[in-house]
Amino acid sequence: MPDYSKEELSRYRLQKAKEDLETAKHDFSADHFLACINRAYYSMFHTIRALLILDGMDFKKHSAVIANFRKNYIKTGVFDLTYSSMIGDASRLRGKSDYDDFIQISQEEAKSQIDNAEAFYNTIQPFIMQKAEQRELTVDQTNEEELER
């Protein structure tokens, strides 16, 4: 497997998050509310993974991804507590929609999850892009300094 930079991996994960959000909207318009819930959750999940990789953090367990997002970005005040609630609610609802039998998801619940996923992405994505750009500038400066030696 090729060795990707953290910035490349972050951009790839953001693209997945965006695609998941678009798929959630498509599923909603087709009245596929269970699938919509799943994709809205994964949009938020991949957004968080795109952020954490820039800090050198990568986890297999969903609970670890969410816990580290809360620890490093909610508790420190970088993002409002609302975003912790959004991912927590999405995770619980996704678990129910994926694993519980005979679960019914209303149109309102599905729409709420899409709205949350969109707000989540639209808030965190610019932060990620700025952070990635700063990291790339730092790497470029370090490389230039090494070349000058």
Taking CA atoms, 124 is separated from 3, 27, 77, 82, in Å, by 25, 23, 13, 12
Range 12-33 average pLDDT: 98
DSSP-derived 3-state class of residue 56:
coil
pLDDT category, 148, cuts 50, 70, 90? low
- The values of phi and psi at residue 32, to 5°, are -100, 75
Range 49-55 average pLDDT: 97
Look up residue 141 and give its two tokens.
């400066």
Q: What is the DSSP string of 57-86?
A: ---SSHHHHHHHHIIIIITTSSS-HHHHHH
**Which of 125, 54, 111, 53 shows the shortest CA–CA distance to 83?**
125
Residue 8 has pLDDT above 60, yes or no: yes
Range of lowest pLDDT (2-6, 15-19, 131-135): 2-6
Owner of token pair 């820039």 = 54
Q: What is the DSSP string of 19-44?
A: HHHHHHHHHHHTT-HHHHHHHHHHHH
Convert the pLDDT of each residue in 79-133 to its tens digit.
999 999 999 999 999 999 999 999 999 999 999 999 999 999 999 999 999 998 8
- The CATH number of domain 6-148 is 1.20.120.330: yes
C-alpha span between 83 and 69 (Å, rounded): 10
> Which pLDDT value is given to residue 136?
75
Instruction: Name the average pLDDT for the chain.
Output: 92
How far apart, in Å, do the first and last CA atoms of the chain sit? 32
Name the residue ranges covered by the structural domains of the chain.
Answer: 6-148
